[in-house]
Amino acid sequence: MTTAASRTDRRTAWRILIVDDHPMMRKGLANLIETEPDLAVCGEAASARAGLAAIRKSGPHLVIVDLALENSDGMDLLKEMKLHHPGIPALVISMHDEELYAERVLRAGARGFVAKHEMGETVLTAIRQLLAGERYMSVRTRARFAEQFLDGRPARGESSLGALSNRELQVLRLIGAGRGSRDIAQALNLSVKTVESHREHIKRKLKLGSGPALVRLATEFVRSAQ
């Protein structure tokens, strides 16, 4: 039975918006968050555009963002939030490699990064740290950042993918999702010529000799994050 006191608690709870293109992931996160009496899900979205609209409509205290969104990319949403909603912290939850993306999402405006295989208490811990005005990174990432800072080296992914720019990683992910250059151009609001240029840069940086080799690597990249 819901009491008047519990209803008051829900009205004053921290509002969390979930932006993820997987319905089951949104449901899982919502169920996890709603178990906490002081946290409440105020909305869900599957794309960056819908996420921005939901932010304006619901005024969340925190936004959970996936990097792979419907017809868009989580990095673009982070940049838009940093520009238009700088007071709202963003927590990225992703299947993508933490070493490859942690620094990138923080530079784009996120306040924390959690790998999807660390769902559960780790997510709740990260949410509470961000709501308290802090950042959240795993112990592993903090140690790596500290070591690289002391060595005077930038924090970058250990793999060759770390040489790619954020935009090149976006293009690589979309290639791996089976999207052609024209479709990618539309999704990222770029010209087809620019997308083709990114494809060539990716091949050169990753030492790939052909288009099919690029598609194979991109497909493996996407599958590894599922």
- Count: domains in the chain: 2
Q: Residue holding tokens 């990095």?
A: 75
- Confidence band, pLDDT 50/70/90 cuts, at residue 226: low
Task: Give the tokens for residue 205.
Answer: 């940086």
Total residue length of the chain: 226
- Confidence band, pLDDT 50/70/90 cuts, at residue 165: confident
| CA 77-115-108 angle, 5° bins | 30
The CATH number of whichever domain residue 38 belongs to comes to 3.40.50.2300
The CATH number of whichever domain residue 175 belongs to comes to 1.10.10.10
Q: Are 53 and 74 members of one domain?
A: yes
Residue 10 confidence (pLDDT): 62
Q: Are 193 and 126 members of one domain?
A: no
Q: Are 42 and 74 members of one domain?
A: yes
What is the residue range of 100's domain?
4-147
Where b means 16+ CB within 10 Å and e means fewer, 86-103 reads: eebbbbbbbbbbbbbbbb
Q: Are 206 and 127 members of one domain?
A: no
Through-space distance between the first and last CA atoms of the chain, rounded to whole angstroms: 39
69, 20 contact by CB (below 8 A): yes
Q: Are 11 and 123 members of one domain?
A: yes
> 117 burial class (0-12, 13-18, 19+ CB within 10 angstroms)?
exposed
Q: Are 59 and 21 members of one domain?
A: yes
Residue 157 confidence (pLDDT): 46
